[in-house]
Each structure stands twice: as C-alpha cells, then as structure tokens.
C-alpha cells in the first residue's frame, strides 16, 4: 500500500511541476527513515519524502531505535495519511483467540525492518510473549504470510495496513474454499498486553474496530490502530513542502481513486494533530493548513 500511495504522490508532484519526483520500493518504515537520514543531500537539492508508521517515526527521531541510537533522524510530518489497523490473522481452527495464545504457535511477525515487525515485536514484549519460544518464528511479508496460512505452514501472522488490505480479502476467500474461516485476533484495551503497549506508546496508538463486513469475519474485531505519516527531512525548504502539500490536497481525488485507504487523507485529519505529536509538523505544511482556515 505504501508503494502505491508513494507512486501517486510522486506523480502528483511531478505533473504539477513542484519537483521531479520518483517513487522507490523499500523494506518499509525503518528503511524509509534511514533514507531520509542518510541519502538526503541539501547541497544537491535531493530530498527523500517517506511514508512511515508513527511508532517507527517516533523511535527513529528520538534515537530509541537501535539503528538510530547514535544518529537520530531529523524529520517532520507533512500530513497524516490513513490509519493502519494491526491485523493478527489466523483461522477459526487455530485455537488462537487472544494475544497470549500465540506463544506456542507458528507465527510470522512481518518482514525484517518493516513497521509491521517493529510494532509486532513491541506488542509481544508488552504482552510478555517471547517470539523466541514460538513453535516456529517466521519473518515474512504479507504475500508469503498469506501463503503460509493458506497452506497450513503458519498458524498466524501479524500485518499492519489500511482497510481493506486486498491480500487479506483474497486470503479470506481462499480459506473458505478450504473449509476454513478467517479469524482476526481481538486486541481490546482490556487485554493486559494491549494496555501496556498503549501506555508505553501514549499518543501514538488508538483502538478502532475492523467491521466484520471488511473481510467476512463472524464479528467486528477491536484492534490497535496507528495513523500513517507522510514525512520529510527537517531540512526540506519551506516552499517545497508547502507546494507539495498544496498539490496533493488540490489533487486528492487522483490519490483516492488509486488508493482506497486514502479516503482518510483529509486536511482535517492532519490539522487536528498539529501541535499534539512528538514529531513536529513541517512549517511548510502548517502554512498550507493555516491558509485553508483549519486553525489560526
């Protein structure tokens, strides 16, 4: 989803003569923050903009992530994209009905270096579930995880994405053909692991519902949700960030036509976070929000 979102943004930036922009495929959030830190070159006018999960952004900006301990990334938020919903995907025959049930199972925690993996490992730690004691611990991307669950080589996997995630819709149909039903493990605030996670990441996570109609599950599923951020280097010129933000929101329907979760990429959803996030918004983006009358 990130790559499709980034592709549309780069096309909008290029077509509206803001700058020459190209979308590149990466291993997700952590890699994206490394690119901002290590590949941005102000002397050459090269700036990396990125899609990123909020907890990953927070840890990389504050230096709490191991790869950023010596040199935190200097990044600002441009806008909020859409909420990512944490999916713990399994079947109705797996015996997994709550977070703690993962302990002795065959589980994938997401691709190495991805925001999904980062969130998954922090949640498991908060729940006192040791992935080292899984019956089998895999670190797979979404496609491989879907195949593992469908083929019976995995009991569950973790995925963080917008609603709906197309591959999970397909997986639900595949499982039905095999006589199984998709089951999403509920993550309510009353779960001790979820409560501990939300306390540690205060202001970065929320609990929202995945309606049963999204994937054809038996019931609505409470889960953790995180607002994806579109970020830029702190060093990016104000006029570049302003013009990019303006171009994107003036052509927002182009983005929404290609990326379903972008229905939540709205001026209001971004403006309400200004001044309330651990990572500041870039002055160029704030200038545009102010011009649109969202705050004084």
CA distance 164 to 210: 9
To the nearest 10°, the Cα dihedral for 12, 276, 28, 18? 20
Per residue in 2-14, pLDDT (tens digit) is: 899 999 999 999 9
CB proximity list for 111: less than 8 A, separation 6 or greater: 27, 28, 117, 139, 140, 141
Which domains are delineated in the chain? 2-82+227-291 (3.40.190.10), 83-226 (3.40.190.10)
Tens digit of pLDDT at every position of the chain (296 positions)? 889 999 999 999 999 999 999 999 998 889 999 999 999 999 999 999 999 988 889 999 999 999 999 999 999 999 999 988 999 999 999 999 999 999 999 999 999 988 799 899 999 999 999 999 999 999 999 999 999 999 999 999 999 988 889 999 999 999 999 999 999 999 999 999 999 998 887 667 788 999 999 999 999 999 999 889 999 999 999 999 999 999 999 999 999 999 988 999 999 999 988 988 889 999 999 999 999 999 76
**57 and 32 in contact (C-beta within 8 Å)?**
no
Report the alpha-carbon angle 117-119-120, nearest 5.
Answer: 60
Measured over all CA atoms, what is the biggest interatomic distance in the chain, rounded to whole angstroms? Answer: 59
How does DSSP classify residue 41? B
Sign of the torsion angle spanned by Cα atoms 29, 34, 37, 43: negative
The answer to whether the predicted template modeling score (pTM) of the entire model surpasses 0.85 is no
Angle at which helices 192-200 and 115-126 cross, to 10°: 120
Q: Is residue 292 classed as helix, strand or coil in its secondary structure?
A: coil
Q: Which two tokens stand for residue 51?
A: 């899609």
Per residue in 102-149, pLDDT (tens digit) is: 999 999 999 998 879 989 999 999 999 999 999 999 999 999 999 999
CB proximity list for 96: less than 8 A, separation 6 or greater: 88, 90, 102, 105, 155, 156, 183, 185
CB proximity list for 253: less than 8 A, separation 6 or greater: none
């Amino acid at each position: 989803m990130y790559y499709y979102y980034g592709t549309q943004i780069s096309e909008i930036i290029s077509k509206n003569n803001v700058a020459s922009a190209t979308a590149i495929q990466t291993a997700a959030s952590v890699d994206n923050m490394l690119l901002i830190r290590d590949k941005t070159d102000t002397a050459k006018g090269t700036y990396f903009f990125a899609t990123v999960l909020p907890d990953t952004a927070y840890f990389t900006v504050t230096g709490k992530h191991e790869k950023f301990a010596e040199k935190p990334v200097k990044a600002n938020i441009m806008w909020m994209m859409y909420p990512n919903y944490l999916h713990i995907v399994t079947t109705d025959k797996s015996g997994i009905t709550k977070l703690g049930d993962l302990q002795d199972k065959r589980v994938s925690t997401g691709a190495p270096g991805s925001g999904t993996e980062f969130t998954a490992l922090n949640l498991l730690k908060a729940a006192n579930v040791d992935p080292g004691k899984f019956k089998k611990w895999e670190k797979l991307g979404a496609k491989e995880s879907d195949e593992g669950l469908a083929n019976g080589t995995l009991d569950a996997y973790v995925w963080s994405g917008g609603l709906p995630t197309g591959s999970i819709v397909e997986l639900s149909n595949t499982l039905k053909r095999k006589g199984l039903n998709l089951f999403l493990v509920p993550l309510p605030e009353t779960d001790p692991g979820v409560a501990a996670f939300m306390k540690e990441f205060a202001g970065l996570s929320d609990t929202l519902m995945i309606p049963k109609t999204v994937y054809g599950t038996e019931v609505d599923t409470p889960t953790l949700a995180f607002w994806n951020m579109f970020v830029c280097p702190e060093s990016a010129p104000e006029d570049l960030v302003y013009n990019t933000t303006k171009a994107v929101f003036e052509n927002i329907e182009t983005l929404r036509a290609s990326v379903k979760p972008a229905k939540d990429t709205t001026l209001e959803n971004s403006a309400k976070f200004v001044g309330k996030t651990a990572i500041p918004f870039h002055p160029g983006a704030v200038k545009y929000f102010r011009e649109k009358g969202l705050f004084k």
